[in-house]
Amino acid sequence: MRVLIADDDREMAEVLAAYVGECGHEAVATVTGGGLAVIQAFARFQPDAVLLDIRMPRFNGLTVCHALLSRKPDAKIIFVSGSVEGDNPFISGCGAAAYLQKPVSVAELREALGAVETGKALA
C-alpha cells in the first residue's frame, strides 16, 4: 500500500515513514509543511492511505481530512495524534478510518494499515 505521511514534526514523520516500511508498505512522501502541503501532496501522489497528524499549521488535520474526503470519498485517513483524544467527537465525525495515539508502535501501525487495506474497522 502507498502511504503519505503528514506530521509537522519532522522527526516523527521520519519515524512513521520507517515504520511504514517495516510494515511492508511504501511511504510515498513525508509532508512536514502543514495542512495545505498535505492536500497538495495527496493530489500529486494519490496514496492509498494517509497518516495524518491533527495539530498542524495552515489547516489542521480535521480540516485536511474533510478536504481529502471531499476529493476522494474512499480515501483512507489514519489520524496520529499525541494531543487530541481518539474519542473526541470531531475525530469520530470526520470520516477517518482509524486513530492512533502517539507514541505509535510498529505493531499498532501494522494493525491499522492492515485494517484499512482490507476495509475492516478497528475496534
pLDDT in tens, 8-49: 999 999 999 999 999 999 999 999 999 999 999 999 999 999
SS3 assignment, position 75: coil
Buried b or exposed e, range 7-23, using 16+ CB within 10 angstroms: bbeeebbebbbebbeeb
Q: What does the chain come to in residues?
A: 123
Taken in order of first residue, the domains within the chain and their CATH numbers are: 2-110 (3.40.50.2300)
pLDDT of res. 94: 82
Average of pLDDT values for 44-60?
Answer: 93
pLDDT of res. 4: 98
Which position has the grid cell 486513530? 99
| Count of CB atoms situated within 10 Å of the CB of 3 | 27
pLDDT of res. 8: 93
CB 6 within 8 A of CB 75: no
pTM of the complete model beyond 0.95: no
How many Å apart are CA 122 and CA 47, to the nearest integer?
20
pLDDT in tens, 59-116: 899 999 999 999 999 999 999 988 766 566 666 678 888 889 999 999 999 999 999 9
CB 1 within 8 A of CB 25: yes
pLDDT of res. 20: 98
pLDDT of res. 89: 63
